[in-house]
């Protein structure tokens, strides 16, 4: 079928709307008509370095099921869905309720640009267009998805539902699924973007004392509006770790880094109190830290993918918390029509907005 998709045709190039052809669903596939799609910094970062072009990104989709393959049993046409990451369902991690660490997940299922057999779901003028990003490529009017990354939703605006598939799930899941802080504990979040602010609101919902560290004033203001007791610019203090320890009377029990920056990770380690835990969420390359500090303080450093969530279980939990008023993620969202995707991406990259969400007419 002929659809419209936002193609990246050169490394670091713009999102350009093009007419492309999309395959019908194979037996294990689901055709989804997109109604909304969040823009994540993973999309923006990936387009700078992606080796297989042209490519369709997008991994925070929401929409309506239009058709299902013959092997699909959990969804039917007409269902409203939120799209998340894909997992195989059969490896040791998937069968032990840890699909975020699926042995096939990162490369073959989410970041190869193709199906597992090497074919593409998309083409233009008979030539392949790469996609299948996170098992969806939702920067398009329609997408092929899978049972493992489709979550049936009810009575939720798709503009609100879309970011649940990655950004909100990652930040809130790091708090609720991994750190699991008690109400008398404290937590510091380094980086108050969509993921960091989702962590802030989840920790506040747990009754924690929360601090946010971010250089962008508007994001610090949102953090405090969400309930952080303090939010400060790291450039405004001589010693970030000391400032955090002072506010938390000796250091927080928990820290989350969403930046992936080595210097910030070192600040988080220095800020934590004895036996504290640091969750690393931000994508980076390498980091150096003082091993003696980690050893003598008895710290734990934990990598986290997708908030350690099982989307079919965790996304409904997030929706329930939102309906209770305890997870007001609508405060992060700025809608844009799909035709303005490149402007929305630029606004996200420049920190003008926190979470742009594309809408499809």
CATH of residue 217: 3.40.50.720
Structural domain tally of the chain?
Answer: 2
Q: In angstroms, how far apart are the furthest CA atoms of the chain?
A: 64
Find the mean pLDDT for residues 89-100: 96
Find the mean pLDDT for residues 170-188: 98
Alpha-carbon distance of 270 to 245, in angstroms, equals 9
Structure confidence at residue 205 (pLDDT): 97
Find the mean pLDDT for residues 259-273: 96
Q: Decide if pLDDT at 104 tops 90.
A: no
Find the mean pLDDT for residues 218-227: 98
Residue 193 resides in a domain: yes
Find the mean pLDDT for residues 72-78: 98
Total number of residues shown for the chain: 361
Residue 39 and residue 158 in one domain: yes
Structure confidence at residue 143 (pLDDT): 98
Structure confidence at residue 122 (pLDDT): 98
Find the mean pLDDT for residues 53-64: 98
Find the mean pLDDT for residues 65-72: 98
Bridge partners, 37 (sequence order): 61, 358
Alpha-carbon distance of 292 to 301, in angstroms, equals 14
Q: Which residues form the domain of 142?
A: 2-165+328-359
Structure confidence at residue 2 (pLDDT): 98
Structure confidence at residue 106 (pLDDT): 77
Point out the least confidently predicted range of 41-45, 66-70, 101-105, 119-123. Answer: 101-105
Residue 32 and residue 180 in one domain: no
- The pLDDT tens digits for 125-140 are 999 999 999 999 999 9
Residue 238 resides in a domain: yes
Residue 334 and residue 294 in one domain: no
Structure confidence at residue 107 (pLDDT): 83
Residue 271 and residue 332 in one domain: no
Task: Retrieve residue 155's tokens.
Answer: 């009575």
Residue 13 and residue 132 in one domain: yes
Indicate the pTM of the whole model.
Answer: 0.97
Residue 228 resides in a domain: yes
Q: Decide if pLDDT at 284 tops 90.
A: no
Structure confidence at residue 327 (pLDDT): 98
Average pLDDT, the chain: 97
Find the mean pLDDT for residues 189-211: 98
Q: What are phi and psi of 68, to 5 degrees?
A: -130, 150
Residue 113 and residue 62 in one domain: yes
Q: How confident is the model at residue 290 (pLDDT cuts 50, 70, 90)?
A: confident
Q: Where are the beta strands (DSSP E) in the chain?
A: 2-8, 15-22, 29-38, 55-56, 61-68, 80-83, 122-124, 127-129, 142-146, 150-152, 186-190, 209-213, 230-232, 254-257, 277-280, 300-303, 333-337, 355-359
Structure confidence at residue 353 (pLDDT): 98
Residue 153 and residue 188 in one domain: no
> Please, is 317 exposed, middle or buried when counting C-beta atoms within 10 Å of its C-beta (0-12, 13-18, 19+)?
middle
Residue 237 and residue 131 in one domain: no
Q: How confident is the model at residue 112 (pLDDT cuts 50, 70, 90)?
A: very high
Find the mean pLDDT for residues 258-281: 97
């Amino acid at each position: 079928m002929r659809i419209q998709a936002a193609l990246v045709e050169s490394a670091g190039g713009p999102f350009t709307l093009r007419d492309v052809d999309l395959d019908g669903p194979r037996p294990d596939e689901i055709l989804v008509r997109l109604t909304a799609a969040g823009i994540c910094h993973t999309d923006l970062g990936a387009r700078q370095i992606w080796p297989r072009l042209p490519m369709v990104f997008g991994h925070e989709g929401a929409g309506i099921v239009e058709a299902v393959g013959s092997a699909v049993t959990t969804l039917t046409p007409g269902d409203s869905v939120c799209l998340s990451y894909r997992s195989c369902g059969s490896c040791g991690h998937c069968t032990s309720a840890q699909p975020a660490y699926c042995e096939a997940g990162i490369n073959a299922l989410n970041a190869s640009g193709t199906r597992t057999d090497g074919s593409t779901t998309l083409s233009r003028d008979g030539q392949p267009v790469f996609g299948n990003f996170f098992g969806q490529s939702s920067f398009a009017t329609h997408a092929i998805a899978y049972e493992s990354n489709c979550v049936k939703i009810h009575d939720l605006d798709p503009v609100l539902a879309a970011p649940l598939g990655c950004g909100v799930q990652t930040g809130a899941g790091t708090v609720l699924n991994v750190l699991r802080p008690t109400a008398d504990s404290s937590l510091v979040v380094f980086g108050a973007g969509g993921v960091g602010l989702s962590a802030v609101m989840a920790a506040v919902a747990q009754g924690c004392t929360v601090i946010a560290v971010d250089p962008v004033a508007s994001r610090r203001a949102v953090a405090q509006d969400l309930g952080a007791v303090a939010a400060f610019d790291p450039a405004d203090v001589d010693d970030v770790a000391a400032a955090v320890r002072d506010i938390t009377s000796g250091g927080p029990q928990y820290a989350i880094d969403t930046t992936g920056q080595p210097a910030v990770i070192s600040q988080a380690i220095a800020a934590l109190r004895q036996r504290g835990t640091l969750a690393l969420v931000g994508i980076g390359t390498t980091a150096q830290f003082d091993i003696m500090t980690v050893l003598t303080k008895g710290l734990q450093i934990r990598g986290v993918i997708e908030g350690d969530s099982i989307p079919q279980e965790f996304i409904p939990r997030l929706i329930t918390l939102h309906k209770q008023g305890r997870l007001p993620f609508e405060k992060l969202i700025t809608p844009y029509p799909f035709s303005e995707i490149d402007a929305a991406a630029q606004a996200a990259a420049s920190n003008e907005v926190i979470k742009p969400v594309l809408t499809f007419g």
